Structure formats: structure tokens, C-alpha cells
Amino acid sequence: QVQLVESGGGLVQAGGSLRLSCAASGRTFSSYVMGWFRQAPGKEQEFVARIRWNGGRTAYLDSVKGQFTISRDNAKNTVYLQMSSLKLEDTAVYYCASANVDSTKRGDYTYWGKGTQVTVSS
């Protein structure tokens, strides 16, 4: 079992930055792929970014490439999502999730946090 707790969300003006954190506990953190997903009001949940257990290879939603950066600190059992140049359309609940396969598909992720709200204002 893995427990995931997100933090760092909030209200930010367009063009601003936020860093989300996801603290993991339970089973060996370094054995998992960690991902971020988001769900905007009235829309389906979508993949945002993921990082392999060794922190080497990453993958991003095309629309956030160059804008968001995912990283992880295995020693702290924490994964981060640095978001910059935020846009109104980035408003969503952001979820951290873990998987034991290298995937961008929601169904491949086993454990999920409860989410943190990010609201971008004009």
C-alpha cells in the first residue's frame, strides 16, 4: 500500500508559478513511477507528467512541455511538479499517483492522492 498526499496548490495569477508536492509513504517509494494528473471542471481527468523511479526519464502532456517540470527526491519520498507561466486553462484539481509500469494511462496507476486545487486567475 502507498499513501500519497499532495500539497502546494492555491490561487495564482496568470503568468505566475506554483510548485506542487506529493509526499509518499508506505511501500518502497523508489520502486514506482510517479505521475501527475489533473481534472478541470466539466472535463475528464488527463495525464500531465510522469517520472521513472530513477528520476531519469520523464514524459509530459504536450501542452505543458516547457512549462511544467516534474522531479522527485527519493530520499524525501516526494515528487514535485513545478508549474510556471500558468494559464487560465491550467485551473484544475491536480492528483499525484503511482504506478509500477511506465505509463501515461490513468488506468495503470494504482495509488492516488486526494488532489490539490490549482486556480489560475486573470
Structure-block grid coordinates of residue 25: 509513504
| pLDDT value for 8 | 97
pLDDT in tens, the chain (122 residues): 889 999 999 999 999 999 999 999 887 665 689 999 999 999 999 999 999 877 678 999 999 999 999 999 888 989 999 999 999 999 999 999 999 889 999 999 999 999 999 999 99
Q: How many helices (H) and strands (E) does the chain have?
A: 0, 11
Give the model's pLDDT for residue 29: 60
pLDDT at 31: 63
